[in-house]
Structure formats: structure tokens, C-alpha cells
Amino acid sequence: MVVSSQDLHDLNERLGVDIDPETLRLALTHRSYAFEHGGIPTNERLEFLGDAVLQLVATESLYIDNPELPEGRLAKMRSAVVNTRALASVARRLGVGGFLLLGKGEELTGGRDKDSILADSVESLIGAAYVSCGRQPAFDLVQRLVGGMLAEAVTLGAGMDYKTTLQEAAADLELGSVSYVLESRGPDHARVFTATAVVGGTAWGTGEGSSKKSAEAQAAESAVQTIRQQHPEYQR
């Protein structure tokens, strides 16, 4: 795939920044594409930088906005936002997958919708904004991308880390141990996994995803919502 100047302009519009074309194209260059094109630079250095910027902005925002919360709770809330699943959801919302430069192998195996690749691309775009536009525009970009999730994490206990939330709920309500039953379907290059969250021998929620991890996370989220409906007094 060739990323055109119009593509870069459109992505900048979605991000609300003005990253220069060379840096933005680099931010979209996955290592699989770089390998197939003579070992050109990849987005991994920008990803490294973007991860640090993301961590800093999330930490600062949570620290300032929640002066009454202890360190452990703040760390949980941050992990609810700074994780692969959450960042992949940001990338899907922006349609980032359609702009990525991927190698043929990744194209064939659904790389444009893989959580890990999408999450890494969000971090590389944040890094690109920092390099091209400066500190404050990059910080503002992070707030636009994850600010809503940071606010939501305050009310979600372990936040989007629903597997941890489910474990805590099961223990607090004495529902029994938590396990996951997994099934899969489809060819190897497009496998779809279905997970059922089982608590105390009873199925509480199901989920589906392109990996075992994402399917279990979806199942855990469904189970947590069911528990909150059946136990309205429990809202951790």
C-alpha cells in the first residue's frame, strides 16, 4: 500500500495535529513493511517515545484530578488506559489501520486489525506529534485520544482491565473462582476466538476477538456488567 499526501492530510485532520509528512509516514511504517523494503527505518523509535509521553500525560492527569486516591488505585486506573486493548480501540475509532504500511505477511494475516499493531501505532503517532509539533501539542493530542477513558477509569475500579475487576468482584462477593472456556473458528490466518467467563461454575459473560487475550477481556467485561446488574451494591 502507498500512503498518499492526501492520506497523510486526512490522518492529521483526524488527529487534530499537523505532523510533517516525513515523520507521519515513518510513524505508520511497521517493521514488516520496512523489512520488505530494504530495511528502511520503522516506527519503533517513535513508538518508544510516544509510550513515554502517553505514560506521563496519563499519570499527571490522574494525579492532579484525583488528589484523594492512593498510589495503588491510580496505577490501576492508568493501566486501564495505557494498555493494548484500550489503545487499539482508539486506533479503530480513528481508522488508523487503513493508513498503516504493512508487509505482505501482515496484510494476509489481518494485521490492520491486530490489537498489538494498532496499539503500537497510536504510540508512534503520539511520538511523531512530539517530534514534529512539540511538547504541548503532543500532550494535547494524548488528552484528546484518551482523556475520556481517563475520566471513565475513575468509576471502573480496575478500569478496562476487566479481568482484574472480575477477579476482585468474584472474591469480594464470594462467587467462586474465575476461569475461561475458549473456542475458536476460522482459518489460521483469520482465527476468531470466543471466550466464556465462568465464575463459580456458572457462565457470566461471553466475548469474541481475534486473539485469546482479547476474547477473554471481552468476556470479563460482559461478566462484570452482569455482576453489577445482579449486585447493584457492588460498583467497584
Contacts of 154 (CB under 8 A, 6+ apart): 65, 66, 77
Q: Which residues are part of the catalytic machinery? A: 51, 123
- Indicate the residue type of 205: G
Any known ligand binding at 221? no
Q: Is 123 annotated as a binding residue?
A: yes
Spell out where 75-191 has E strands: 178-185
The answer to whether 47 is annotated as binding is yes
Buried b / exposed e over 174-200, threshold 16 CB at 10 Å, is: ebeebebeeeeeeeeeeeebbbbbbbe
- Structural element, H or E, at residue 233: none
Joined grid coordinates for residue 182: 475458549
Annotated binding site: 47, 120, 123
Annotated binding site for Mg(2+): 47, 120, 123
